[in-house]
Chain A
Amino acid sequence: MTEIIVVTSGKGGVGKTTTSASVAVGLAKRGKKVAVIDFDVGLRNLDLIMGCERRVVYDFVNVIQGECTLKQALIKDKRIDTLYVLAASQTRDKDALSKEGVERVLNELAEDGFDYVICDSPAGIEKGAALAMYFADRAIVVVNPEVSSVRDSDRILGLLASKTRRAENGSGGVEQHLLLTRYNPERVAGGDMMGINDVKEILGIEVLGVIPESPGVLTASNSGIPVILDEDSAAGQAYADAVARLCGENRPLRFIDAQKKGLLARIFGS
């Protein structure tokens, strides 16, 4: 059984691609066969985050248009044997994707024995985003604790509940998970950032994970190594926890409490 997971948010810049890359790597590290697909036609970036940008020969659109086989376009990860990347086209426009084409590729991945397909959605609610979510079994909604991100996510939740295959054929809808990113416990404690429970209550879905704001995220993207592989960084560990929960493990949330400051820091400020 292949499970299709869409990583989506509505708003741009909240960490969809970072999350797609880390979730894909996390699942593959657990021995699952995983494909991660970039749906952001025209603005591809997953290849950079995954560190395989110089190995892209064929892309998702080439496969859909029959210009190459799926096997030719799948880029095998150099770190993990069971992980494959399908890059978005950088040159075509978003209309190059079609529902039938996407469905054909997903079916072929299922026939090839993939356990998971991660669909990295573009920002917005237009065609690319609509197609990324259409065939999903589960959705990871990436949210920053910030007003515009939360509002846009609620829009996305509405679309997941109506504009997806599972919603249309009445098979129980898409399972929705909330992933809070760029979480800053100090600012939450200081009253100028919404907390986990605030966001959870507004959106009304369960929390899959909380990724703290962490310098590790930028250094990871700089070097093309998904942050989950940086086991020293808080963000990397938080992603590993989130993937474990996705697989049904019960893990308490970490990195959600403000660090106690030392005496010197308190006197002189930080």
Chain B
Amino acid sequence: MGLFDFLRSRPRNTAAMATERLRIIVAQERAQSGRPDYLPLLRRELLEVIRKYVNIDPDAIDIHIDRDGDQEVLELSVALPEKPRDPAAAAAAAGEL
């Protein structure tokens, strides 16, 4: 630190930024570790099947594996849109336009 350093603006505390970013990413990665590798594929295939009948948002599927003692529970939640659309009807409607 030299005589005129106080004139320069002090850089932000980057160590605190590093700590905060690491806290978040490490917590996220720990939560993911130990999950079976097939979950993302399972999620994608389920999405495709459901979309044959109901046009849902890609984010509308939530898959969790919870461990309860020595039992594993696969929890699947699908949020349906408020007015379920029939894909065939939707296609027909699109054709009329």
A pairs with B: yes
Chain A residues within 8 Å of B, Cβ to Cβ: 146-147, 150-151, 154-155, 158, 162, 188, 191-195, 198, 202-203, 261, 266-270
Q: Interface SS of chain B: helix, strand, loop or mixed?
A: helix
In the complex, which residue of chain B has the Cβ closest to the Cβ of A203? B26
Contact B13 A192 (CB under 8 A): yes
Chain B residues within 8 Å of A, Cβ to Cβ: 1-3, 5, 11, 13-16, 18-19, 21-23, 25-26, 29-30, 33-34
A193, B41: Cα distance in complex, Å: 40
Contact B15 A269 (CB under 8 A): no
Contact B1 A192 (CB under 8 A): no
- What residues on B are CB-neighbors of A270 within 8 Å? 1
In the complex, which residue of chain A has the Cβ closest to the Cβ of B16? A191
Contact A202 B22 (CB under 8 A): yes
A191, B12: Cα distance in complex, Å: 8
6 example contacts (A-B, Cβ-Cβ < 8 A) are as follows A147-B21, A151-B22, A192-B11, A192-B13, A198-B19, A202-B26
A38, B78: Cα distance in complex, Å: 51
- Which of B2, B13, B26, B29 meets A269, CB within 8 Å? B2
Contact A194 B19 (CB under 8 A): yes
Contact A266 B19 (CB under 8 A): no
